[in-house]
Amino acid sequence: MTNSFDDIPFFDDDGSPDEPAPRKAPAPAAAPASGGGLGIAARAMAARDQNRTVVDYLSGLNPEQREAVETLDGPVLVLAGAGTGKTRVLTTRIAHILATGRAYPSQILAVTFTNKAAREMKERVGVLVGGAVEGMPWMGTFHSVGVKLLRRHAELAGLRSDFTILDTDDVVRLIKQLIQAEGLDDKRWPAKQFAGMIDGWKNKGLTPPDIAEGDARAFANGRGRELYAAYQARLRTLNACDFGDLLLHPIAIFRKNPDLLKEYHAKFRYILVDEYQDTNTAQYMWLRLLAQRPKDIPQNVCCVGDDDQSIYGWRGAEVDNILRFEKDFLGAKVIKLERNYRSTEHILGAAGHLIAHNEGRLGKTLFTDRVDPDDEKVQVHAAWDSEEEARAVGEEIERLQRGGSDGRKHALNDMAILVRASFQMREFEDRFVTLGLNYRVIGGPRFYERLEIRDAMAYFRLVCQPSDDLAFERIVNTPKRGLGDTTVRYLHDYARARDIPMLAAASDIIETDELKPKARKALFDVIQSFRNWQQKLETTSHMELAEQILEESGYTDMWKADKSAEGPGRLDNLKELVRSMEAFESMRGFLEHVSLVMDADKNENLDAVSIMTLHSAKGLEFDTVFLPGWEEGLFPHQRALDEGGRSGLEEERRLAYVGLTRAKHRCHIWFVSNRRIHGLWQSTMPSRFLDELPAAHVDVAASDSNYGGYGGRGGYGQSRFDKADPFSNTYSTPGWKRAQANKTDATRDNWGTRSGHAVERIGYGESGPRGRTIEGELVARSTSETPSQFSVGDRVFHIKFGNGNIASIEGNKLTIEFDRAGQKRVLDGFVERV
DNA sequence: CGAAGGTCAATTTTT
DNA sequence: TTGACCTTCG
């Protein structure tokens, strides 16, 4: 550990933006490149002190990385391919800035997208510079930095600095109210959809007057713009912000207050941006305001990213931002990191060849020095259907676990299954449950999004922030207090009419006889409780108070009385919530944290296979990666193709690239010939991406099953992965029999553990993966075709289910009573008369 | 208020 | 086919 960083001056940054004047000259000869007009003795001493450090943190960097770290003056774009040491460059660069005394910790603005990335950066900088990282208040996500700016200058945006941050759920409920208030049908105009539109506009940096006429008219009978404006007005009265505002308000503030912006120009001596290819327009505008400076202030901005890993276009990310960097920041130095430290030559070769099919790239080719004849090529496997796919993947995992071809036993933690869409996960989960194989799903319900956590948080919010009407409405009748819709609506209208918060309105109303005695009493009790808690805010510790609130409100009792299976888990979660407050000084501090940071921790002690989407795999790496579902329509996804056209396809291809480059040593790709889509079995074609892989680095694995192969549908889209074996009988194979046998006991267990077999869920969404599938072109096509050539009672053969009789016909969909498989619904194209 | 039944839609997800 | 969400009835 180095000591040299202990001397870095530390300035508390919570005051005004005024900083001690930055040091005019860089500190003595720290970086080999930068001299300085200092005395020889001073230089020598500094060099002596610094050398140790320099060696410590610069050694081990390759020349490009080192250049990216040491080029401190002027704009720098680091194009960092997958596994090229991007984070290392970023963190070392920060360390270097500090070590050379170019800036105080508080003068470095370092932004990331996710909290996870921010946390990781903090940790790693911490390792390099020790405690100095504590003085880096401007290291965080775009949003957390946005909050910080906005809390300081809230009044310039018409807010108080104690504004609340609403999450998606709150936003939707609020919009729903607005839609109803406008007298619109909230079914015809779903609040969720409008929330999505607003989000999209905000991603583009558009305020109500800015949105295109067409967009403005597309919702709410042409009143989209008014609705958006009404929403913003409502946020202001609520003293609240949504996520988009955390960027848009600062942008507006900077534009309106050039002097203030100038202070920040002077303040942030160095700006660093991670994952630049993921920035959306609003973030881009925000960044440009801060980073593009008048000539007299240096533009020390460093963006790190990889255009080949831009997979969030659908969410507003503009790859263009990274492609345009050199134009935005004239004189920018572009440094490419192409030396890969993660993967084998085969994996890199496969990934590189694939991604080369994209146009409009900045163009990087990853390479590695490691050449090991034992490294296996990327394996492509065919399976008959998704069940078979899951079975085979499970077998391969068990094989590796027992000891792979190299005889080494592999940990489940080193393996991951990366799917295109979350519905694919289910098949693997089912299979692993029957095998008793531990797995963890990344992307399950997030802690903070759970019902009970949101309820509890609403109580805390309302205590801290009595004008939080959304919180009020959420919990006023939770647990049930006999304050139903009628009462709440009345309170709402009363509050709106007088422009006061609902809690205050409630206080007024209980003084009157407007409510029925029962409701009045109930409301009175609620208000008394809140008054009580608010007083205790100053006197009681926040954890103690939190417990009291949950007890006295009857909220914990509500779950104790709940006899469903979920009750105990929810109580545990509530305990966990209170426990997690320990790390914070106050309830307010805690609320701030939760509104922005929402991760669940994964249990590192558990050895388990990870199952996640390709999107959530970005930034991770695994020894062995399984990539199932490489079929046309699923991957590339039909919808991406329909909606995104050429660029949609390219984004899908980047997703494939991300998937491949997650693998360190082994990568297994799968495709199936039949997949169940909306309950119907459909024949599928191998993904075009398979054809884009280079033969030199890929093995088409002799399928471990006899019946892997593509039952093609005519001459269209022939691929070298097509196999002329579409009609092999599957019923006699052991795999089929086992799959059938397993069907009965492979029940699904969303939450967890069954018979000594651990399952973990980490991530988003209240209810796990939804059963989504592709709206296949094939379905659409055959639907509009001529009526079925079959009639009820016909004896038919189906490739998967065997013989059966047609029970009923709906267009091209047949319901067939199969002899062995029972009743199934299938498309008529897949059966033939016998 | 809670259970039951009908309807609609069905990539990817962070803050 | 599954599931989420909403309306309706007891």
pLDDT tens for residues A637-686? Answer: 999 998 888 999 999 999 999 999 999 999 999 999 999 988 888 999 99
**CA of A480, C1' of C7: distance in angstroms:** 21
* Catalytic positions of A, written as ranges: 86-87, 274-275, 309, 662
pLDDT (tens digit per residue) in A66-115: 999 999 999 999 999 999 999 999 999 999 999 999 999 999 999 999 98
Question: Does residue A465 sit in the same domain as residue A550?
Answer: yes
A95 is in an annotated binding site: no
* Domain of A552, in residue numbers: 452-600
Question: Does residue A472 sit in the same domain as residue A571?
Answer: yes
Neighbours of A291 (CB within 10 A): 20
Question: Does residue A626 sit in the same domain as residue A534?
Answer: no
**Residue A159 counted as domain residue:** no
Give the pLDDT of residue A382.
95
Q: Using the predicted structure, report yes or no on whether residue A748 has a pLDDT greater than 60.
A: no
Give the pLDDT of residue A26.
39
**Residue A412 counted as domain residue:** yes
Residue A578 has which token pair? 């209170």
CATH code of the domain covering residue A398? 3.40.50.300
Judge whether A154 and A163 are in contact, CB under 8 Å. Answer: yes
Q: How far apart are CA A82 and CA A337, in angstroms?
A: 9
Give the pLDDT of residue A27.
39
Question: Does residue A419 sit in the same domain as residue A466?
Answer: no
Q: Tell which strand C nucleotides have any atom below 7 Å from a protein Cβ.
A: 1-4, 6-7
Judge whether A288 and A328 are in contact, CB under 8 Å. Answer: yes
A793-799 own/partner pairs: CB under 8 Å, 24+ apart = A794/A833, A795/A833, A795/A834, A796/A831, A796/A832, A796/A833, A796/A834, A797/A831, A797/A832, A797/A833, A797/A834, A798/A824, A798/A826, A798/A830, A798/A831, A799/A674, A799/A711, A799/A726, A799/A727, A799/A730, A799/A830
**Residue A753 counted as domain residue:** no
Question: How would you list the strands of the sheet with A108-112, edge to edge?
Answer: A139-141, A108-112, A270-273, A301-305, A76-80, A333-337
Last-in-domain residue among A202, A219, A238 = A238
Least confident window among A207-221, A310-324, A360-374, A820-834? A820-834
This prediction's pTM: 0.79
Q: Using the predicted structure, report yes or no on whether residue A763 has a pLDDT greater than 90.
A: no
In one-letter notation, the amino acid at residue A759 is V
| CA distances to A388, A798, A824 from A820, in Å | 18, 11, 11
Give the pLDDT of residue A152.
96
Last-in-domain residue among A238, A257, A288 = A238
Residues 6+ apart with CB under 8 A from A620: A416, A662
Least confident window among A131-135, A175-179, A362-366, A725-729? A725-729
Q: Which residue has the higher pLDDT, A718 or A403?
A: A403
Q: Which residues pair with A802 in a beta bridge?
A: A798
Q: Which residue has the higher pLDDT, A429 or A828?
A: A429
**Residue A592 counted as domain residue:** yes
Q: Tell which strand B nucleotides have any atom below 7 Å from a protein Cβ.
A: 1-2, 10-15
Per-position b or e across A225-263, b if 16+ CB within 10 A of its CB: bebbebbbebbeebbbbbbbbbbbbbbbbbeeeeebbee
Give the pLDDT of residue A370.
84
**Residue A741 counted as domain residue:** no
Question: Does residue A416 sit in the same domain as residue A538?
Answer: no
**Residue A69 counted as domain residue:** yes
Least confident window among A296-300, A372-376, A573-577, A680-684? A573-577
**CA of A259, C1' of C4: distance in angstroms:** 51
pLDDT (tens digit per residue) in A26-75: 333 333 333 333 444 444 444 445 444 555 788 889 999 999 999 999 99
Question: Does residue A392 sit in the same domain as residue A510?
Answer: no
Q: Which helix (H) or strand (E) holds A381?
A: strand A378-385
Q: Tell me what the mean pLDDT of segment A436-460 comes to.
A: 83
Q: How far apart are CA A312 and CA A310, in angstroms?
A: 6
Give the pLDDT of residue A639.
92
Question: Does residue A651 sit in the same domain as residue A676?
Answer: yes
The percentage of residues in chain A with a pLDDT greater than 90, rounded to a whole number, is 44
**CA of A350, C1' of C9: distance in angstroms:** 61
Q: Tell me what the mean pLDDT of segment A724-744 comes to.
A: 31
Q: List, chain by chain, residues whose CB lies under 7 Å from nucleic acid strand C.
A: A 187, 678-679, 748, 767-768, 770-771, 825
Question: Does residue A691 sit in the same domain as residue A589?
Answer: no
pLDDT (tens digit per residue) in A556-613: 888 887 766 677 778 888 888 888 888 888 888 888 888 777 665 666 778 999 999 9
Q: How far apart are CA A353 and CA A351, in angstroms?
A: 6
Judge whether A709 and A725 are in contact, CB under 8 Å. Answer: yes
Q: How far apart are CA A213 and CA A45, in angstroms?
A: 66
Q: How far apart are CA A556 and CA A828, in angstroms?
A: 54
Identify the residue whose tokens are 């800035």: A97
Judge whether A271 and A109 are in contact, CB under 8 Å. Answer: yes
Judge whether A473 and A492 are in contact, CB under 8 Å. Answer: yes
pLDDT band at residue A822, thresholds of 50, 70 and 90?
A: low
Question: Does residue A116 sit in the same domain as residue A175?
Answer: no
Of A606, A598, A80, A621, give the one whose Cα is nearest residue A364: A80
Q: How far apart are CA A10 and CA A6, in angstroms?
A: 10
Q: Which residue has the higher pLDDT, A447 or A704?
A: A447
Domain count, chain A: 5
Q: Tell me what the mean pLDDT of segment A284-298 comes to.
A: 92
Give the pLDDT of residue A810.
63
CATH code of the domain covering residue A232? 1.10.10.160
A352 is in an annotated binding site: no
Question: Does residue A532 sit in the same domain as residue A554?
Answer: yes
Least confident window among A134-138, A303-307, A411-415, A702-706? A702-706
pLDDT band at residue A265, thresholds of 50, 70 and 90?
A: very high
Question: Does residue A562 sit in the same domain as residue A594?
Answer: yes
Of A675, A681, A622, A742, give the one whose Cα is nearest residue A420: A675
CATH code of the domain covering residue A541? 1.10.486.10
Judge whether A111 and A140 are in contact, CB under 8 Å. Answer: yes
Q: Using the predicted structure, report yes or no on whether residue A211 has a pLDDT greater than 50.
A: yes
Q: How far apart are CA A205 and CA A254, in angstroms?
A: 14
**Residue A523 counted as domain residue:** yes
Burial class (CB in 10 A: 0-12, 13-18, 19+), A142: buried
Q: Which residues pair with A379 in a beta bridge?
A: A668, A699
pLDDT band at residue A270, thresholds of 50, 70 and 90?
A: very high
**Residue A213 counted as domain residue:** yes
pLDDT (tens digit per residue) in A121-163: 999 999 888 888 888 999 999 999 999 999 999 999 999 998 9
Question: Does residue A467 sit in the same domain as residue A541?
Answer: yes
Find the nucleotide nearest A750 (Cα to C1′). Answer: C3
Closest CA-bearing residue to C1' of B14 = A114
Judge whether A443 and A763 are in contact, CB under 8 Å. Answer: yes
Residues 6+ apart with CB under 8 A from A200: A316
Q: What is the DSSP letter of A367?
A: B
Give the pLDDT of residue A722.
47
Q: Which residue has the higher pLDDT, A60 or A785?
A: A60
Q: What is the DSSP letter of A297?
A: S
Judge whether A817 and A802 are in contact, CB under 8 Å. Answer: no
pLDDT (tens digit per residue) in A497-542: 888 899 888 888 888 888 888 888 888 888 999 999 999 888 888 8
Find the nucleotide nearest A116 (Cα to C1′). Answer: B14
Last-in-domain residue among A600, A622, A639 = A600
Query: For all residues of chain A together, what is the average pLDDT?
Result: 80
Q: How far apart are CA A83 and CA A658, in angstroms?
A: 11
